[in-house]
């Protein structure tokens, strides 16, 4: 009887050890999987935060975000962040004689459109909208546009006042972070018109 009880005790103990070891294995496997999933997500969040920081410091909002006017001047409109010059916003009238290399350069009150010897130029929509923003641009196209000064990295020259050479001087990591941030913001449909010469604009 005594031996039997002793045997049962040993068996129960062994079963307990196996159970505990088993649950440790399951737990640690689960922890490893969630750590594996958490690491890239955390790295992505960090990259997006870096891109946001670079864009704030790089004054991208000055030209690319529509504004609301306040007593302190124009401030980016949080509901339309980085969506470029509002397509429906008409520019105030101006005279051709006032524009030229030795004359004036004009900016719309929200800084999203300018008129100068380079023509009438509106800031582009940088949100990830597929038809009117950069939704279909690859990271390579984005970097190449800013490094070569060519529209989408291969088209017409990017017009002033876009400071593409300065922005293109950012490191590969910073440009990748800016791209990741732009892909993370809400897409906004806004078909910004392309640049026009002053003559073509006034003849419209
Ligand atoms: C002084 C105004 C100004 C500032 C500041 C500015 N941009 Fe622009 N940006 C423009 C204008 C205007 C265009 C449109 C030029 C054109 O259509 O040729 C443009 C176009 C672009 C384009 C599209 C290029 C292409 O291939 O057509 C990208 C991308 C861009 N800007 C990114 C940025 C980023 C990122 C920043 C901040 C680091 C920034 N811009 C700051 C005015 C500005």
Residue 10 lies in a domain: no
In degrees rounded to 5, what are phi and psi of residue 114?
Answer: -135, 155
Average pLDDT value over all residues in the chain: 90
- pLDDT tens for 141-155 read 999 999 999 999 999
- pLDDT tens for 187-199 read 999 999 999 999 9
The encoded tokens of residue 160 equal 């002033």
Mean pLDDT confidence for 158-174: 98
The alpha carbon of 63 and the centre of ligand 1 are apart by a number of angstroms equal to: 7
Please give the radius of gyration of the chain, using alpha carbons only, rounded to the nearest integer: 29
Give bridge partners of residue 150 from the DSSP assignment: 157
Residue 199 lies in a domain: yes
Residue 138 lies in a domain: yes
Q: Which atom of ligand 1 is the closest one to the Cα of 54?
A: 38
Residue 115 lies in a domain: yes
Residues 172, 126, 134, 149, Cα dihedral to 10°: -60
Residue 144 lies in a domain: yes
The pLDDT score that the predictor gives to residue 7 is 59
Residue 37: band (very low, low, confident or very high) from pLDDT cuts 50, 70, 90? confident
Residue 178 lies in a domain: yes
- Determine if ligand 1 sits within 6 Å of the CB of residue 144: no
- Determine if ligand 1 sits within 6 Å of the CB of residue 52: no
- Determine if ligand 1 sits within 6 Å of the CB of residue 47: no
Structural domains in the chain (count): 1
- Domain coverage including residue 104: 60-203
pLDDT at 8 over 90: no
User: How far are the Cα atoms of 7, 60, 80, 127 from residue 167, in angstroms, in the given order?
Assistant: 77, 9, 22, 17
- Cis omega (within 30 of 0) on the bond before 161? yes
Residues 85, 90, 96, 102, Cα dihedral to 10°: -30
The pLDDT score that the predictor gives to residue 39 is 84
Instruction: Give the predicted TM-score (pTM) of the model.
Output: 0.85
């Amino acid at each position: 009887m005594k031996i039997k009880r002793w045997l049962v005790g040993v068996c129960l103990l062994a079963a307990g050890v196996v159970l505990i070891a088993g649950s440790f294995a399951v737990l640690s496997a689960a922890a490893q999987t969630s750590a594996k999933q958490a690491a890239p997500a955390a790295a992505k969040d960090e990259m997006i935060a870096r891109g946001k920081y670079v864009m704030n410091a790089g004054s991208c909002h000055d030209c690319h975000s529509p504004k609301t006017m306040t007593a302190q001047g124009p401030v980016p409109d949080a509901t339309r962040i980085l969506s470029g010059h509002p397509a429906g916003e008409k520019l105030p009238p101006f005279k051709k004689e006032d524009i030229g290399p030795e004359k004036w350069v004009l900016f719309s009150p929200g800084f999203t459109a300018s008129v100068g010897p380079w023509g009438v130029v509106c800031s582009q929509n940088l949100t990830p909208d597929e038809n009117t923003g950069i939704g279909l641009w690859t990271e390579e196209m984005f970097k190449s546009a800013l490094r070569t000064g060519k529209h989408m990295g291969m088209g017409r020259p990017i017009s002033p006042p876009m400071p593409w050479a300065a922005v293109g001087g950012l490191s590969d990591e910073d440009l990748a972070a800016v791209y990741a941030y732009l892909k993370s913001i809400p897409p906004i449909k806004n078909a910004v018109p392309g640049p026009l010469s002053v003559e073509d604009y006034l003849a419209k």
